[in-house]
Amino acid sequence: MLPLPDDSRSRLAREVAQQIARPGTALSGYFYRSPLAYELELNQLLLKSWVYAAHVSELAEPGAFRTLEMGEDSIIVARGEDGELRAFSNSCRHRGARVCDREHGVARTFVCPYHGWTYGSDGALRGAREMTDAPGFDADRLGLRQLSLVEFEGLVFVNADPAAFDLEQALEPLRPPLAAYDLPNARIAHQHSYRVQANWKLCLENYLECYHCATAHRSYAKMHTLKDPQEKVQDVLDAMLARSEAVTGVPGITVDHRRMYEQAPGFGACASHQRYGLFEGYLTGSEDGQPVAPLMGRMQGYDGGAGDFQFGPVSFMLNYPDHCVLYRFLPLGPDDTDMKVVWFVDGSAVEGVDYQRDRVTWLWHHTTLEDEYIISRNRAGVLSRLYEPGPLQGEFEEAMMDFHRWYLGALGAAVEGAAK
C-alpha cells in the first residue's frame, strides 16, 4: 500500500470536512490508506460498537471459550464455572502477554506463558507467583479486563466500551421475526473466515449495497429481488408480505424496523430488519432456490421471502425459512480484513440425513468468493494516486451512504476531541 506523505490530524480533519461537504459521493482514497484514520476507527468506532462474537452452542459447557481478533486487539469470550458468559481482554495484567493462543476450546484456566499468572474462566486472577508482597499488588483488582457482553436470541455480542448502549434494548423490536428461527437451539452447519487483502470499509461497503449484484452475482441475482429497483419488483414484494404470516405461521415476521448507523438508538447499537422477496419459483437461497434443510424453529412454510437483519455496525444475518447466514466484517490490519460467514440450520437437523453441508453453503460461499474478487479490484483502484471518487446510486447505495455519514461524524468527533 502506498505511504501517505502527510498523515497528520490536521489533514485528517480536512479530509473529513471535505468529504462531508460532498454528500452522496464515494469516499476519498485517503480513508482507505491512512494509518491515523485506521487507528481512530479501531479506538473510536469499532471498539465502542457491538460486534458478533459467537453462538451459544460454541460456549455450551463451563470453560468453553472463543477468541475474537480485531486489529491488534484480542478478546476472549468464555463461560465460567458458574455458567455465566463473560468477555475479557486477552492480555495479561502483568506485562500484557496474550494468555490464550487458541481460537476456541475448553479451559478451566488461562495461563500467561511469560510469567505464569493464572486466570480462571471467569477472568479472575487465581495465581501470580512471588507477587504477594509486591507494592500495588491486589489480586482482586488484577483480573483480565472485563468487557460488555450481551446474548440475544442465541447470538453473543461484545463491546469494549464500559458505557456501551444497551444492545438488548436496541434489538428488542427485532425479537418477533428473529425468534421464529429458534437460533438459541440452532446448529452451526459450517463457518469460514475469508481473509481479504483490503481495508475493512471496502468489504463492509460491498455488503451494504446491491448495486453490484446484477453485475457480479448472477446466481444470487436470479433469485433475489434486491438486485432490482423496488418500483420494478413492488408487486412481488407486496404479494410476499401479504402471505408471510399465514404461510410461515409467525406473527410479526414482516416487522420493518430500520435503525442503521445514524438512526441507531445508541452508538454502535444498530438494529435493523426488513423482509424482502425472492422471485417466483425460488423458495430459499441455494444453488437452485429449492430447500436444502428442514424448516427452522417455528417456521411452517416457505413464503418466498428472506429476513435481512443488522446487529451493530459490522454484523448481519440473512435468514431463509430453512437456513440462516451470518456475516461479520473485522479488520485484522489497515489492509487486511476477516469476512466471517456462519451458516445455521435447525437444531434437530442431522448432517448427511437432513442436509448436506455443500448444498447449504453453496450460494453464499460462491457469492463471497465473487465478492473477494470485486473487492480486490476495488482496492486496486481506490489506492491509485489517480482515483477520483464519483457519485453514488441513491436507492441501491443508500445504506452505504448512511454508514458514511455515521463514520465521518464519529471520525470527525474523534479528531476534534483529540485536538482539545
pLDDT in tens, 230-265: 999 999 999 999 999 999 999 999 999 999 999 999
* 22 occurs within a structural domain: yes
Are both 370 and 265 inside the same structural domain? Answer: yes
* 170 occurs within a structural domain: yes
Instruction: State phi, psi for 221 to the nearest 5 degrees.
Output: -65, -30
d(CA 58, CA 8): 43
DSSP symbols for 222-253 = TTBGGGS-HHHHHHHHHHHHHHHHHHH--TTT
* 157 occurs within a structural domain: no
Are both 323 and 369 inside the same structural domain? Answer: yes
The one-letter code for the residue type at 117 is: W
Counting the structural domains of the chain, the total is: 2
Average pLDDT of the chain to the nearest whole number: 96
Residue pair 92/125 in contact by the 8 Å Cβ criterion: no
d(CA 115, CA 82): 27
Q: Give the pLDDT band of residue 419 (cuts 50, 70, 90).
A: low
Q: Give the pLDDT band of residue 2 (cuts 50, 70, 90).
A: low
Are both 171 and 144 inside the same structural domain? Answer: no
pLDDT in tens, 83-97: 999 999 999 999 999
Asked which of 127, 151, 175 is the last residue of a domain, the reply is 151
* 86 occurs within a structural domain: yes
Are both 42 and 65 inside the same structural domain? Answer: no
Is the pLDDT assigned to residue 416 strictly greater than 90? no
Tell me the chain's radius of gyration from C-alpha atoms: 22
Are both 26 and 57 inside the same structural domain? Answer: no
* 160 occurs within a structural domain: no
Are both 117 and 182 inside the same structural domain? Answer: no
d(CA 45, CA 69): 15
Are both 222 and 260 inside the same structural domain? Answer: yes
d(CA 376, CA 272): 28
* 161 occurs within a structural domain: no
d(CA 209, CA 212): 7
Are both 147 and 199 inside the same structural domain? Answer: no
Q: What is the pLDDT of residue 5?
A: 76
HSE-CB of 206 using CA atoms within 13 angstroms:
28
Is the pLDDT assigned to residue 102 strictly greater than 80? yes
d(CA 401, CA 375): 18
Give the range of the structural domain holding residue 379, as residue numbers without chain letter.
1-50+166-420
What is the domain-level CATH number for residue 138? 2.102.10.10
Q: What is the pLDDT of residue 3?
A: 67
Asked which of 151, 183, 208 is the last residue of a domain, the reply is 151
Asked which of 117, 151, 185 is the last residue of a domain, the reply is 151
Tell me the percentage of the chain whose pLDDT exceeds 70: 99
Are both 33 and 83 inside the same structural domain? Answer: no
43-71: b or e for each residue (b if 16 or more CB lie within 10 Å)?
A: ebbbbbbbbbbbbbbbbeebbbbbbbebb
| Mean pLDDT of all residues in 131-137 | 92
* 158 occurs within a structural domain: no
What is the domain-level CATH number for residue 401? 3.90.380.10
Are both 203 and 120 inside the same structural domain? Answer: no
| Mean pLDDT of all residues in 194-209 | 98
> What do you get for the CA distance between the two ends of the chain, in Å?
31
HSE-CB of 8 using CA atoms within 13 angstroms:
6
Are both 192 and 316 inside the same structural domain? Answer: yes
Are both 218 and 132 inside the same structural domain? Answer: no
Q: What is the pLDDT of residue 418?
A: 63
